[in-house]
Amino acid sequence: MSAVQSASAKGQPAATGAYDVVVVGAGFAGMYMLHRLRQQGLSARVYEQGGDVGGTWYWNRYPGARCDVESMQYSYSFDEELQQEWEWSERYAPQPEILKYAGHVADRYDLRRDIQFDTRVDRAAFDETANRWSVATSDGNTVTAKYVVLATGCLSNARMPDIKGLAGFKGKVYHTGHWPHERVDFTGQRVAVIGTGSSGIQAVPVIAEQASHLTVFQRTANFSIPARNAALTAEEREAFRSNYPEIRRIAREEMRNGIVQEVPDRGALDDGEDERRARFESRWSKGGLTFMGVYNNLAFDKAANDTAADFVRNKIAEIVEDPHTAKLLQPNDHPIGSKRICIDTDYFTTFNRPNVTLVDIKSDPIQGILPHAVRTSAKEIEVDALVLATGFDAMTGSVAKIDIRGRNGQTLNQKWAEGPRTYLGLMSAGFPNLFIITGPGSPSVLSNMIVSIEQHVDWITDCIAHMRDRDLVAIEASRDAEDKWVAHVNEVARTTLYPQANSWYMGANIPGKPQIFMPYIGGVGLYRQICNDVAAKGYEGFAMTAAKPLKRAVSS
Ligand code: N01
């Protein structure tokens, strides 16, 4: 079935002609963008590669997938009725429930009628005379729009590892970021999981319960904190609901990462050893991302960071019964939190199961995949299924797949060859009327994504309304403002321990990708203030072009 047929089969009209805005992606960013544009009376067309809304939650269906931000906070705040009516079942929502929520939002605001599914945007070119984008899609259509908004997601371009022989493997191969829609049952199978980031760490305990044997191939050990997931009680839900507007305001304005939590009043070295251990212990028992918020200097001071890292390493040694396996599972090559910290349910305990083996591929690298086995330099391990939990070409990968041409035909990929360059993460000089939601140079992946998405969408909507009200036809980031912003993003990152890890934040997981710290680490509150100030000063750092007056016809 062609994309056009499939779009119309879903009751959607095929794209016609000209729109005010084309939005790329129908995840949480694209859906809210569409809603806000409609409220402004603007015409919008959304293109989505997947078969339905949900973005990252549409694709990441692997066993054990759930959000690491608590569900009462990982949800839209733009409509009080919506946040009052939705009933989250658990502290951390499982993927199917988040996808159901996305579907509910699409129904509630009747979004799907302007979304064309199963359709990729292949090319977008800016016409400097008309000040319009021409957008070509995988169904063979081309439409035009005054603005293009990239709501392509930060972790949506799954990365297949370049391992010799992978294509010749005779069993099933799965990628966590591109999981089948049908239920996958590993019962009785010998399974290999390659990769121990957040996805692998969530999937391993669930797969271990099904598989006859599970072999986990670990290149880099990761820090992980227990989620302590549980059903939400009516009282817990009510505690949020009765105070939602204020909780959301605090998340937006006062929290670095957009997640309301206790704010630390001291650094790790301000406490003696016993007091420090007690505090870490209390956060470990509570579980979740807030572990890193116990002290205010864990992201900045290596000696402080070491105290937290040692605490977690000791926990791993206590949990994992085999001392050799425990040693391998203890991360020792990066500060805790400098790679995205993982949140798990029974990850380390899983290595006490008789049907689970850990293979350290740093000391015993994978040489290749055989038709029925994984071969390392020391051994061959027979497996029936391969699970690749090898991550994403993060933050820029999905944008790079689109052939985007701005002024003078320059492509965004050419411009970003040495690393992404944006002003505020929102626009890139030379690409007028092209907005990015949670792009590189904005807090995005270092924050509660929905808080950052709503802030970007609201800012972009206000900007478009401002342009319309003043009859302006183009907006573009200035080179100077962009250079200063890129320098600032790097400068702030350098004050932290983050650049010390080979993380996907740095692009270090993709061979050949320029290594630059991509997200803005200044915090969502400060960042929001900067964006608001820029707008209040008449969009300082952006050049805006007025419509040319129409030439009068000369009459004799
Ligand atoms: O990907 P990753 P992910 N041979 O890049 C290994 C979000 N997320 O999908 O570290 C062997 O973190 C790689 O090894 P190394 C979250 O923000 C959120 O797990 O490069 N191994 C690493 O172990 C997260 O950070 C949630 O040495 C190879 C792993 O694969 C982000 O998504 C859940 C390899 C990749 O880890 C990405 O997480 C899931 C190779 N060729 C994801 N190539 C929640 O909300 C890579 N690896 C809870």
Q: What is the DSSP string of 358-426?
A: EEETTTS-EEEEETTEEEESS-EEE-SEEEE---B-TTTHHHHTSEEE-GGG-BHHHHTTTS---BTTT
Nearest CA to ligand 1 atom 16: 198
Q: Is residue 170 part of a domain?
A: yes
Q: Which of 90, 166, 198 to mutate to test the pocket of ligand 1 (most atoms within 8 A of CB)?
A: 198
**Can you read off the two tokens belonging to residue 89?**
């079942």
Binding pocket residue ranges, ligand 1, CB within 6 Å: 67-68, 155, 161, 163, 176-177, 194-200, 202, 219-220, 340, 343, 361, 389-392, 445, 504, 509
Q: Which of 219, 386, 450 to mutate to test the pocket of ligand 1 (most atoms within 8 A of CB)?
A: 219
Domain identity same for 209 and 348: yes
pLDDT at 2 (0 to 100):
34
Confidence of residue 138 (pLDDT cuts 50, 70, 90): very high
Nearest CA to ligand 1 atom 45: 67
Q: What one-letter code names the amino acid at 389?
A: A
pLDDT at 16 (0 to 100):
64
Domain that holds residue 185: 160-222+340-391
- Nearest atom within ligand 1 for CA of residue 155: 32
Nearest C-alpha neighbor of 146 from the set 161, 131, 162: 131
Phi, psi (rounded to 5 degrees) for 533: -65, -40
pLDDT at 82 (0 to 100):
98
Nearest CA to ligand 1 atom 10: 220
Q: How far is the CA of 198 from the centre of ligand 1 (A)?
A: 6
Domain identity same for 405 and 472: yes
**Largest Cα–Cα distance of the chain, in whole Å?**
97
Domain identity same for 141 and 13: yes
Strands (DSSP E) along 87-129, which ranges?
115-116, 121-127
Domain identity same for 77 and 23: yes
Are 231 and 89 in contact by the 8 Å Cβ rule? The answer is yes
State mean pLDDT over 105-134: 98
pLDDT at 3 (0 to 100):
35
pLDDT at 552 (0 to 100):
54
pLDDT at 7 (0 to 100):
44
pLDDT at 549 (0 to 100):
72
Domain identity same for 205 and 108: no
Q: Is residue 494 part of a domain?
A: no
Please write the tens of the pLDDT for every residue from 52-64. Answer: 999 999 999 999 9
Q: Is residue 501 part of a domain?
A: no
Q: Is residue 363 part of a domain?
A: yes
Please write the tens of the pLDDT for every residue from 497-554. Answer: 999 999 999 999 999 998 889 999 999 999 999 999 999 999 999 999 999 876 654 4
Q: Is residue 178 part of a domain?
A: yes
Domain identity same for 48 and 65: yes
Domain boundary among 338, 370, 405: 338
Domain identity same for 101 and 19: yes
Number of structural domains (the chain) is 3
Q: How far is the CA of 15 from the centre of ligand 1 (A)?
A: 37
- Nearest atom within ligand 1 for CA of residue 339: 25
Conformation bin of residue 92: beta by default, left when phi > 0, alpha when psi is -120 to 50: beta
Please write the tens of the pLDDT for every residue from 438-467. Answer: 999 999 999 999 999 999 999 999 999 999
pLDDT at 551 (0 to 100):
60
Domain identity same for 73 and 188: no
Please write the tens of the pLDDT for every residue from 63-98. Answer: 999 999 999 999 999 999 999 999 999 999 999 999
Domain identity same for 179 and 292: no
Given a cut of 80, is residue 1 above it in pLDDT?
no
| pTM of the predicted protein model | 0.95
Q: How far is the CA of 214 from the centre of ligand 1 (A)?
A: 18
pLDDT at 9 (0 to 100):
41
Q: Which of 56, 506, 509, 513 to mutate to test the pocket of ligand 1 (most atoms within 8 A of CB)?
A: 509
Nearest C-alpha neighbor of 112 from the set 38, 26, 43, 28: 26
Q: Is residue 512 part of a domain?
A: no
Domain identity same for 540 and 460: yes
Q: How far is the CA of 141 from the centre of ligand 1 (A)?
A: 36
Please write the tens of the pLDDT for every residue from 150-203. Answer: 999 999 889 999 999 999 999 999 999 999 999 999 999 999 999 999 999 999
Domain identity same for 288 and 370: no
**Can you read off the two tokens belonging to residue 241?**
């609901």
Q: Which CATH number covers residue 54?
A: 3.50.50.60
Q: How far is the CA of 367 from the centre of ligand 1 (A)?
A: 20
Q: How far is the CA of 154 from the centre of ligand 1 (A)?
A: 13
Q: Is residue 514 part of a domain?
A: no
Mean of the per-residue pLDDT values of the chain:
94
Confidence of residue 485 (pLDDT cuts 50, 70, 90): very high
Q: Is residue 516 part of a domain?
A: no
Domain identity same for 138 and 187: no
Half-sphere exposure of 168 (CA within 13 A, CB side): 10
